[in-house]
Structure 1
Amino acid sequence: MAGQIPQRFLDDLMARVDVVEVVGERVKLKKAGRNYSGLCPFHQEKTPSFTVSADKQFYHCFGCGAHGNALGFLMEYDKLRFPEAVEQLAGRLGLEVLREGADDPRAQARERKRKEGVNLLELAASFFRERLKMPEGEGARQYLERRGLSPDVQQIFGIGYAPDDWEALKRHLTERGISDAVQVEYGLLVHREESGRTYDRFRDRVMFPIRDVKGRTIAFGGRVLGDAKPKYLNSPETPVFHKGRELYGLYEARQADHRLERVVIVEGYTDVVALAQFGIRNAVATLGTSTSEEHLTRLFRMVSEVVFCFDGDRAGRQAATRALETVLPLMIDGRQVRFLFLPEGEDPDTLVRREGAEAFQDRITCANPLSEFLFDQAAAGRDLARIEDRERYASQVLAALARLPEGVLKSLLLSELSRRTGVEASNFSALLARAKATAVEPAPVRDMASKDGAAQAAGMPETAPPLGERSPPTARSGGALSLAARALQLLVHEPSLVAQLPEEDGWCPEDDPDGRLCREVVRLLRAGRYRSAQVLLAHFHGSAEGERLAVLARRELLIPKEARGAELEGLVNHFRRTRQRRSPQEEIDALLARERGGERLSREDKQRLMALLTELHG
């Protein structure tokens, strides 16, 4: 059902579930006094240091520090997102997950529409699989046989065939009462405006169903058998399919290995299936787009290592550069990224057939770590014996390191840059800090002058920072916090403060990453009525946003508890006044910049943008 999961349901669920049962189904436990012990599933060990307490309903590893409740264990062990883990726990008890807004007719309509769309696509997938078995699918069967794809792997990936007919699928679905309009909406039919005619989008193609993480068909990819163009065709964007978010083969990879630790990103779905044919079941593919930050965020929730696989030509190197730029901000400690470049003229499909699975696995294992690719890329075409080239080399590496989160990896890369250039690491650290400080605009300050002007009369400045903020903000990861980060920190430490915020969230500064994250947190707290920081952090677990919130949660809040409400109120008032002082054009530019940067504007943002455009242009 649509809507957020309310705190009262979570409290009831956690009171009824038994962490020993949940963990015991996945880890071999032995009774040890009042507790249970076993080998930790989150790191390699020979002597048990993993303890589960039935009394406290908690698990803890004294070796690696992993700890949490039944919900947290499911998220970590089964690589589930927060809502999925809640659903699984509720299912154990025969409960239906309660969600806020479930009685909203609009929410019900959206959920009903989504289910109808998924059912329609499953019906189409079944149709394609059946046609592959029929006489009309002979050409497709021969193609799959030539590609060396066994019946077993075809069944695993649900491969089918779209007949060479303009209306074969259309007739099949129409007979089952599904209108042309719905088929068009979910990308199965094409509608020609000039003639009003509709016809099958996929014709004479081998069909690869694209599934979500739950195994539901949400789209298709088709490989043409004849001379039609394009050679490969994907479903368009639909209410259930967003190509910048989905990865082909991820569901099948998780089915093959429930404890997936590494994922290889290849170019196309035929590569994914061919590798699976040879027993390499951890490959996924993007769907006609470059690997996005959203793709990687989803993967890092499930695995700790991602291997990018590219052709060894110039285009492959350029794609690798784009992938490096995308992944750098997500490289919190504990994550690994490698870059695998194939010989020119080869793709994973051809190479695994020529070399075999073991040799291909060796290539994956020996792929360049992110650090080596970063240094090699910066050194390309430069003579590092020349001081000028060495300076440009160091500057390029430093520019990349400025995008990395603070952590051990960043420190090690600075040390390695020092070793390779002969410059003291402390000098690089200072340069990096200076570059980051100049890149961050000074944060606005809150007007503290009283209404009667007493502050000015006393010689105080007209504006001053909020309580507890007495120094200018520096980089986002250290030093004093920006004002947006301060508001976010208050909400992380005191989620109940959300009750005093204004209904609209437009006060959050949209030109600040912490401000945008603050919007997400406010909406989540309101929708779920959460009052627990741990539940809030669980929602963002495994993402860059989650790491940011965890940093703020660990950072001591020096403001007295009784003054925190006033502090937040002062911040909100300041942000609202700052926004009011901006011209309509400045606000329009800020909103459009966010959208051009790949961020999806909220409904409120879009309404605000339309109002501003109307105000400006009439």
Structure 2
Amino acid sequence: MVGRIRDEDIAEVREKARIDEVVSSYVTLRNAGGGSQKGLCPFHDEKSPSFHVNPSRGFYHCFGCQAGGDAIAFLQQIDGLGFVEAVERLAETFGVQLRREEDDGRPQAPRGPQRGRLVEANKVAEAFYREQLTTPDAVEGRRFLDGRGFDQSAADRFGVGFAPRDGEALLRHLRGRGFTEEEVVAAGLVAVGRSAYDRFRGRLLWPIRDAGGDVIGFGARRLFDDDRIDAKYLNTPETSLYKKSRVLYGLDLARKDIGLSSQAVIVEGYTDVMACHVAGVPTAVATCGTAFGDDHAKVLRRFMHDHEEFRGEVVFTFDGDSAGQKAAMRAFAGDQNFVSQTYVAVQPDGLDPCDLRLKEGDGAVRELVASRTPLYRFVLSNIVARYDLDRADSRVDALREAAGLVTSVRDRSKVDAFIRELAQMVGVDPEEARQEVRRAAARGPKEPSGSTRRDAPAAPAEPTAGAPERRPALPDLRDPRFTMERETLKLVVQVPGVLGRLVDDLDGEDFTHPTYRGVWDAVVASGGPRAGSGDASWASRVAEAATDPAARAAVSALGVEPVPSATAPDAAYANAHVVRLQELTVLRRIAQLKSRLQRTNPVEQQTEYNRMFGELVALEQQRRTLRDRLVNES
């Protein structure tokens, strides 16, 4: 069994793994001031960015869901990796050689984690397929690309390749590169029947990459009539890397432009993505063998700054046929996933972007996107178009059906605009349309008998006898009463070196909020603030030492929040915080002692009264000394 990774190597991984580089493969980050960056949280759905990254501290924290930690924790959470797997992947990425405790100090090459081996297998397969596209056997593939208007440079740009018709060509190649059958099957490159064979044979292939650029799967297009698989397109099956409900083809190429423009164009196929990018629409992406769903929307929103502070555009392209209209209805149902305005771009002749480019050129593709129509208008128009509006009864029916659709909109700010559009389409007074929408809302959606509405409030649960009492809610960590505790702990977590010997005067009693007390206890368990001076992994060690999840989350928050100082915090700045925190502790003790003195009879309890009075005098002197220190050093 392989031994434990050495602590110093883990510390080196933490030091070298740039948290902003790791996170930016999944989230578009923008400067937030104070050396911090922010973006939409990848761990929960949100409309305003509350996910912060502090590169200099190596920490991330979401103030919405409280997720936080260092680069190792980020990979563990976002990719479902174990601690060792995350360390090994980062070590591989940032060039750290890992050693094990049983190695007696001798360097050991890092073992590639399973994901790393699968990614590498896909990478090798991509290079193999691309090389095969230049062979005589791939003439049909090259002819297909040429017929779709793509030259060799376009094929290279998107990594298009060809799978030999020989059913074991890739398998032999991968074996020659040291991959096991278990690895290539797990990667979805090889299937096993009576024996192992290449999953893709005699097909044109597009590599499918994640947002960070790693090849995680392939899409394969049928070329030959004798292909035993009838499906025109065949994709990699579900693997630990490839989840079709979360994959958007072309996102690796489009993500930068999506982030810059806050626009995303959703097309239906690989060649449509290619056509858009080549034609000058670099924000195009496509789903891979499945309809655009909620998970796709969540992935996309992270990169397009889709939040309340900035509203972008999501443009869907659909065919003009009935299937395209059904797709538009599905997209409308998921419209509430976006704060951004949603649009639909449909070419009158029903041409997809690839065919449109072939027929009318690059400019026509750009014009298709530029002439987009609001999605709600497209959907309402399709409903209304089914009715004969010259007849009064048909106008009523059209209004009634469309009104039911309007009531499904969760964003109430959009409803009034929808009502006005609907009234104009049907040819009725806006107030009549508004009343019909109200009636539709009152009727509500039809539910099966005995079912419960999902949006109905749940009945309060009856207390169970013998059940433990609920833990009382803790005060808000940002309550002004705890500001000095928070700001002092920021220094302890971020720049412990500036505190020097000042922290020797601090103890747990200086932190009155239970969570901040938990953070301080974790600091002490990690060796105290002095142990963190010059230690790049200090904040991570404190987080690991925290026994309370709330304290652990607080450490990551304290690690990314900017310190409110015009310059880098120095000893004087730190001294002011430590002394003020001590002064608050003394003031609390004075208040408690005065309360006890008021309840003590000076005649009957003279000894106790005199003792407390002397203690009060000493505390008042301590308070004056602390106040003088603040004045003299300010």
What's the offset of the Cα at 1:294? 1.4
Gaps of 5+ in 2: 1-10, 61-68, 90-112, 305-311, 446-451, 467-471, 474-512, 519-547, 562-634
Map residues 187-586 of structure 1 onto 2, 5 A cutoff: 187-192=188-193, 195=194, 197-227=195-225, 228=227, 229-255=230-256, 259-303=260-304, 304-325=312-333, 327-332=334-339, 335-344=340-349, 346-418=351-423, 420-422=427-429, 423-424=431-432, 427-428=435-436, 430-431=438-439, 434-435=442-443, 439=453, 440-447=455-462, 526=549, 529-531=552-554
> CA–CA distance in 1 between the matches of 2:408 and 2:41?
31
8 Å CA contact retained: 1:207, 1:220: yes
Task: Map 1:173-192; keep pairs closer than 5 Å.
Answer: 173-192=174-193
Q: 2:38 aligns with which of 62, 66, 71?
A: 71
Structure 1 counterpart of 2:158: 157
Amino acid at match of 1:337: T
User: 1:258 offset after TM fit, Å?
Assistant: 5.1
Question: How many aligned residue pairs are there?
Answer: 408
Structure 1 unaligned spans of 5+: 1-8, 27-40, 43-50, 59-68, 452-465, 468-493, 500-524, 539-618
Q: What SS does structure 2 have at the residue aligned with 1:302?
A: coil
| Residues 423-444 of structure 1: per-residue CA shift (max 9 Å, x gap) | 3566356436535699543521
CA distance in 2 between partners of 1:428 and 1:380 (Å): 18
TM-fit CA distance, 1:167 = 0.4
Does the C-alpha gap of structure 1 residues 106 and 336 become closer, same or farther in structure 2, counting only changes over 3 Å?
closer
Q: Tell me, yes or no, if the aligned pair for 2:335 and 2:342 is still in contact at 8 Å.
A: no
Please give the alpha-carbon distance, in whole angstroms, between the structure 2 residues aligned to 1:376 and 1:105: 47
CA distance in 2, matches of 1:189, 1:125: 14
d(CA) in 1 for partners of 2:179 and 2:48? 34
Alpha-carbon distance between aligned partners in 2 of 1:266 and 1:72, rounded to the nearest angstrom: 25
**Secondary structure of residue in 2 paired with 1:223:** strand
Task: Tell me the secondary structure at the aligned position of residue 99 of structure 1.
Answer: helix
Residues 417 and 314 (structure 1), Cα distance of their counterparts in 2 relative to 1, 3 Å cut: closer
* Cα distance change on mapping 1:413 and 1:495 into 2, 3 Å: farther
SS of aligned partner of 2:368: helix
Using a 3 Å threshold, how does the CA distance of structure 1 residues 87 and 239 change in structure 2: closer, same or farther? farther
Residues 131, 162 of structure 1: 8 Å contact kept: yes
Partner residue in 1 for 2:73: 99
Cα distance in structure 1, aligned partners of 2:456 and 2:48: 38
Partners of 1:376 and 1:137 in 2: CA distance: 46
The sequence identity of aligned pairs, in percent, is 32
Query: Alpha carbons of 1:86 and 1:140: their partners in 2 closer, same or farther (altered >3 Å)?
Result: farther
1:300 maps to a residue whose letter is: R
Deviations 1:598-617 (A, max 9, x none): xxxxxxxxxxxxxxxxxxxx
Is 2:116 the partner of 1:108?
A: no
Q: What's the CA shift string for 1:424-474, capped at 9, x where partnerless?
A: 5663564365356995435212436999xxxxxxxxxxxxxx99xxxxxxx
Mapped to 2, the partners of 1:17 and 1:161 lie a distance apart of 37
AA aligned opposite 2:237: P
* 1:100–1:527 CA contact under 8 A, matched in 2: no
What does the per-residue CA deviation read over 1:159-191, in whole Å, with 9 as the maximum and x for residues that have no partner? 112112110000011122212222122211111
Q: Is the 8 A contact 1:374 1:397 kept in 2?
A: no
Counterpart secondary structure, 2:439: helix
The answer as to whether partners of 1:244 and 1:289 remain within 8 angstroms in 2 is yes
C-alpha separation in 1, matches of 2:374 and 2:346: 12
- Equivalent residue letter for 2:163: A
User: What amino acid is aligned across from residue 270 of structure 1 in structure 2?
Assistant: T
Question: Do the aligned residues in 1 keep the contact of 2:148 with 2:358 (CA within 8 Å)?
Answer: no
Q: What SS does structure 1 have at the residue aligned with 2:255?
A: helix
Structure 1 partner of 2:92: none
Distance 2:268 2:75 in 1: 40
SS in structure 2 of the partner of residue 289 of structure 1: coil
Check 1:495–1:224 CA distance in 2 against 1; reply closer, same or farther (3 A cut).
farther
1:251-290 superposed Cα distances (whole Å, 9 cap, x missing partner): 1122556513222222110121123232332221111111
In the aligned structure 1, how far is the partner of 2:553 from the partner of 2:348? 52
**Structure 2 CA distance for aligned equivalents of residues 528 and 230 of structure 1:** 54
Contact residue 132 and residue 160 of structure 1 kept, 8 A: yes
- The one-letter amino acid of 2:323's match is A
Distance in 2, matches of 1:301 and 1:495, equals: 34
Task: Name the CA distance, whole Å, in 1 between partners of 2:465 and 2:185.
Answer: 61
Counterpart contact for 2:132–2:162, Cα < 8 Å: yes
Looking at structure 2, the residues matched to 82 and 267 of structure 1 have their Cα atoms a distance apart, in angstroms, of 32
| 1:156–1:252 CA contact under 8 A, matched in 2 | no
When residues 282 and 148 of structure 1 are mapped into structure 2, their CA distance, relative to the original with a 3 A threshold, is: same
C-alpha distance in structure 2 between counterparts of 1:534 and 1:398, whole Å: 46
Cα distance in 2, alignment partners of residues 357 and 87 from structure 1: 41
Aligned partners of 2:40 and 2:49 also within 8 Å: no
Secondary structure of the 1:208 match is strand
Shift in CA distance, 73/532, structure 1 to aligned 2, threshold 3 Å = same
8 Å CA contact 1:328, 1:400 repeated in 2: no
Determine if contact 1:87/1:97 at 8 Å carries over to the other structure: no
Q: Which amino acid aligns with 2:73?
A: R
Give, in angstroms, the shift of residue 139 of structure 1: 4.0
CA distance in 2, matches of 1:246, 1:495: 42
Alignment of 1:119-138 (within 5 A): 119-138=120-139
CA RMSD of aligned residues (A): 4.7
Counterpart residue identity of residue 317, structure 1: Q
What is the Cα deviation at residue 72 of structure 1? 4.5
Please say if residues 234 and 287 of structure 1, whose CA atoms lie closer than 8 Å, have aligned partners that are also in contact: yes
1:80 & 1:160 partners in 2: Cα distance?
41
Q: Distance in 1 between matches of 2:514 and 2:410?
A: 25
Q: Which has the higher Rg, Structure 1 or Structure 2?
A: 2
- Structure 1: which amino acid aligns with 2:276? L
TM-score normalised per structure 1 = 0.56
Distance in 1 between residues matched to 2:117 and 2:550, nearest whole Å? 25
Q: Which amino acid aligns with 1:401?
A: V
Higher RCO structure, 1 or 2 (CA under 8 Å, sep 6+): 2
Distance in structure 1 (CA, Å) of the matches to 2:551 and 2:75: 10
**Helix, strand or coil: the match of 2:302?**
helix
> Is 1:118 aligned to 2:84, yes or no?
no
Contact 2:276 2:365 in 1 (8 A): no
